[in-house]
Amino acid sequence: MFDAVVSPVRIGRSSVGALGILALALGALQSVVEPALPLLQRELGISPAEGALVANAFALTGAVIAPVAGKLGDRYGGKRVLIWLVAVISAGGLLSSLAPTLPVLLLGQVLQGGMVGALPLSFILVRKHLSSGESQAAVGLVVALFTGGGMVGTVVAGPIADGLSWHWMFALPTAAVIVTTVVVVRLMPHDPPTGSDSGIDWLGVGLLSATLLAFMVGLGVLTSGGLPPLAMVAVVLVVAACTTAWILVERRSATPTVDLRMLAVPATRNAYVLTFLVATGFGMIAILLPQLFAVSGDGYGFAADTTRIGLYLLPGALIGVVSDSVGGIASRRFGPRAVVVVGAAVTAVTMCALALLHDAVWQLVLARVLTAFAVGLATTALLAGAAASVETKDIGIATSLLVVTRVIGAALGTQLGGGVLALGTDPVTGLPTESAFAAAFVVTGLIAALPLLVVRITRSSVPR
């Protein structure tokens, strides 16, 4: 048991600013991979499907860390846990910067995935040290700077890789993370632990990790092709066994990592399904467009380097920030269902059109802008709708499960996109064919349209 709780010390703008700058550095480190994926594939001699694993390693670790970090922060103090977590993130960034092979880079990205838990820990700190109104403003600042850091990373990854090497695009943001953490340690007072008696479901955490790992490795193996039928069945059975074991443990745990009771509520269950489908479609978009920007095929592709790819993706990143802020407003005014329908329709039509029209850079940039805005609207509306449809005591449970669902969906989409391109690779040139890109865009459009069917079927239980 803990001693009597001590009132936390109030903090000033410098402490909040230090947390925000740390979020900026973390966002930059997190975002350098997307525009550099084609470069990493060339440098390490890996396929698009293996490149998708690099992008997903970070996200899947975050899906496991997100529900655990907040519990640890409440129990042991947000500052203490944040320091240890950033140490792990920094180790991952340094390992990625030194990686000579794909397995080492994957391990570095797994460690970097801990930064998903850094944001909830920052929120714990500002809530404990500031009033309710002040903490809301501070949370907004931290989130905005994390998003801004993502845009910075997208833009600077190319110049750093071209001017120095791809190793430095991990090393420099990692150095910034370490320096800003030192500043946070000096300026941010320790927050007292809450003394909560609720434990951490470590068995659930381990099984969730095993399930996600088996899912992504299995998907990567299946989409790479070349497996005999019995091996493919074995992969599916392993994933199913891990998933079943995790569900059984979570249902019996007093303090589950992910509370599956939320699936019993029709409104939230449908929000999870819709979020998964929307995120899967956007995960495919996230890998397909950089690949087409980079490829130099016979009559297709643009042979763009990492710098230009980052610039091409920047408008979509900017509009994504806008759509995230507008999604909640649109949800309150028109209802989540209407927003999801519009977002799904725009994404589906855009991707199907891109299957026919992809011979100019502006077409791909416009497609990224339209889909980023549509997906941002839909996912934010679903998040707001789910939060409004459950009791106040369940908001944290419902929204954390939505975050995990979004991460898994995006990871699946990224792997599917890489798999389609890998299956359509020209054996002579070693490049994905133009027809492979067209097929992948059509598949993305079809997946993006699935929420329309779900909304139609579940009309009575999707929040209006």
**Lowest mean per-residue pLDDT among 65-69, 164-168, 383-387:** 383-387
Reply yes or no on whether the pLDDT at 91 is more than 60. Answer: yes
Query: Is-contact 248 375, C-beta < 8 A?
Result: no
Tell me the H-state helices in 164-201. Answer: 168-187
Q: Count of CB atoms within 10 A of residue 386's CB? A: 27
Quote the pLDDT of residue 167: 86
Same fold, 11-191 and 259-464: yes
How confident is the model over 432-437, as a mean pLDDT?
88
Quote the pLDDT of residue 351: 92
Q: Which CATH architecture group holds 11-191? A: Up-down Bundle (1.20)
Backbone angles phi, psi at 225, to 5 degrees: 80, 170
Which residues contact residue 286 at a Cβ distance below 8 angstroms, ignoring those fewer than 6 apart? 34, 55, 410, 413, 414, 417
**Lowest mean per-residue pLDDT among 8-12, 56-60, 178-182, 330-334:** 8-12
Which residues contact residue 315 at a Cβ distance below 8 angstroms, ignoring those fewer than 6 apart? 365, 368, 369
pLDDT tens per residue, range 228-237: 667 677 777 8
- Residue/partner pairs of 341-345 with CB below 8 Å, 24 or more apart: 341/451, 341/452, 341/455, 342/374, 342/377, 342/378, 343/278, 343/374, 343/375, 343/377, 343/378, 343/381, 343/451, 344/278, 344/374, 344/378, 344/448, 344/449, 344/450, 344/451, 344/452, 344/455, 345/449, 345/452
Quote the pLDDT of residue 106: 83
Quote the pLDDT of residue 6: 46
pLDDT-above-90 percentage for the chain:
7
pLDDT tens per residue, range 92-142: 888 888 888 888 888 888 888 877 777 767 666 666 665 555 555 565 566
pLDDT tens per residue, range 240-296: 888 888 888 877 777 676 666 666 667 677 888 888 898 899 888 888 888 888 888
Quote the pLDDT of residue 227: 61
Distance between CA atoms of 150 and 172, rounded to whole angstroms?
14
37: tokens are 């994926």
Which residues contact residue 463 at a Cβ distance below 8 angstroms, ignoring those fewer than 6 apart? 267, 271, 335, 336, 337, 385, 386, 388, 389
Given this structure, which CATH class describes domain 259-464? mainly alpha
Q: Where are the domains of the chain?
A: 11-191, 201-256, 259-464
The rounded mean pLDDT for the chain is: 76
Closest CA to 367 of 380, 389, 379, 352: 352
User: 3-state class of 432 per DSSP?
Assistant: strand
**Which tops the pLDDT comparison, 276 or 192?**
276
172: tokens are 């420099």
User: 3-state class of 301 per DSSP?
Assistant: strand
pLDDT tens per residue, range 328-366: 667 667 777 888 888 889 999 999 999 998 888 899 999
Quote the pLDDT of residue 399: 60
Reply yes or no on whether the pLDDT at 223 is more than 90. Answer: no
Which residues contact residue 59 at a Cβ distance below 8 angstroms, ignoring those fewer than 6 apart? 113, 407, 410, 411
